[in-house]
Structure 1
Amino acid sequence: MDTYGISSEERTRTPYGIGALMERAAARTVPLVRDIPDEALTAPTPCPDYDVRGLANHLFHVVVEFQKLAARQDADFTSTPSRVAPGGDWRERFAQETDKLVAAWSVPGAEDGTTGAWQLPARLVGSMALLDLVVHGWDLARATGRTYPVDEELAPVVEELEGAVARLAPTGRSTGAFGEAVPVPEGAPAFERLLGATGRSPA
């Protein structure tokens, strides 16, 4: 078992690869991004540091840089390029780059071993990109008055992310990547528990 609590037995038991889970998440988030109207780009989001444009830029950057991590290349998160602007074709480019992200993490061996500057378990690194696709997809849906689609197809994605957040939360909160956990009612659906664990109020 590594320092983030991932055992070889657990990885073998998991029936879905990260690429397959990303594909399910992308099927929900990409249409939401495609439908963001220009007039909503300055709207606030559940992430206090970002308006819609800033959050879309952040998610776009994640989608691009995590392709490199799947291929054991160096990623650069020191600054976020400005790719999102009124008009233009950024929405379609985001869809194309998300397809490339799914493909990169679907390559055999992509989630084996370690990757990134901190040499974290590759599957956990892939889960970070998966988490951004899901929770920032929800953020953007909420910011633009829409609903993030949650159904049985998303269940294995949420299951993967619950485990990843449990491992990442202590460091994530100390660095400001995660907010403090928001309590959710007892018996709340798994997706709402995930949102609460990342510092979001499902309500």
Structure 2
Amino acid sequence: MNTQQQALPTAIRECADAVAATASGIRGDQLGERTPCEKFTVAELLDHLGGTLTSSARAARKEPRPDEAAASDMSPASVAESANRAAAAWGDPGAYEGTTEFGPGEMPAGFAATVTLEELALHGWDLARATGRTFAISEEAGRATLGAVEQIAEQARIRGSYGPPVPVPAGAPAFHRALGASGRNPEWAG
């Protein structure tokens, strides 16, 4: 594991815990709310994140991809469980070795972990903001998230997953800089 990857297991666990806490508090009447991730409502984001985290746990364990995609209808409780399973899977040092199938195809396992952290942190924050919760992570997890976002930002913008960078003061917390680098406004309010 390289230096950046050494921070991943702890940051993934911390963000997974924050996602689980956020998801567990989402009420049924909040599922139609808009999120900072413009293409998703709360319900759609739960489906996306839960499916991604299920795939992430499988990728960390180097399990083959299922032949067909399972229907995704994730409840807040199942997203919390998926976050915990993904963090547990990425807690194994062997998960970072070699390659794995994740997302669009085969990739280095360490990069799949980077994408997992980015998904947990950014979409966890999206869910928290949309539902009036706080998404608090340490400065260390924020720095790891910033590193992950910076690593994938160019490709994410090309694919339309990130918007143009939002200016954030250089002295802002690392997580706020990660949000800005992903095209999110850290001050977003629905």
TM-score by length of 2: 0.86
Identity of counterpart residues, as a percentage? 33
1:171 aligns with 2:158: no
Q: Distance in 1 between matches of 2:162 and 2:131?
A: 22
Deviations, residues 150-191 of structure 1 (Å, cap 9, x unaligned): 3xxx22222222222222111111011222111112322211
C-alpha distance in structure 1 between counterparts of 2:31 and 2:165, whole Å:
27
SS of 1:115 mapped into structure 2: strand
Indicate the residue corresponding to 2:116 in structure 1.
Answer: 129
**Match for 2:125 among 138, 159, 166?**
138
Report the 3-state secondary structure (helix = DSSP H, G, I; strand = E; otherwise coil) of the residue aligned with 1:109.
Answer: helix
Cα deviations across residues 10-52 of structure 1 (Å, max 9, x unaligned)? x1x4584533322111121111101101001001111111111
| 1:184 and 2:168 matched | yes
Query: Equivalents in 1 of 2:181, 2:27: separation in Å?
Result: 29
Three-state SS of the structure 2 residue aligned to 1:30 is: helix
Cα distance in structure 1, aligned partners of 2:5 and 2:42? 34
Query: What is aligned with 2:107?
Result: 120
Q: Say whether the 8 Å CA contact 1:19–1:104 is kept in structure 2.
A: no
How many residue pairs match? The answer is 184
Alignment of 1:38-77 (within 5 A): 38-75=28-65
Quick one: which amino acid aligns to residue 136 of structure 1? H
Q: Give CA deviations for 1:105-129 in whole Å, capped at 9, x if unaligned.
A: 1223111222225443211211111
Is 2:186 aligned against 1:196? no
Partner of residue 145, structure 2: 161
- Which residue of 69, 84, 92 corresponds with 1:107? 92
| Deviation for aligned residue 1:73 | 3.1
Q: CA deviation at 1:104?
A: 1.3
- Tell me what 1:5 maps to: none
TM-score (norm 1): 0.81
**Whole-angstrom CA distance in 1 between matches of 2:7 and 2:141:** 10
Aligned with residue 93 of structure 1, among 70, 78, 92: 78
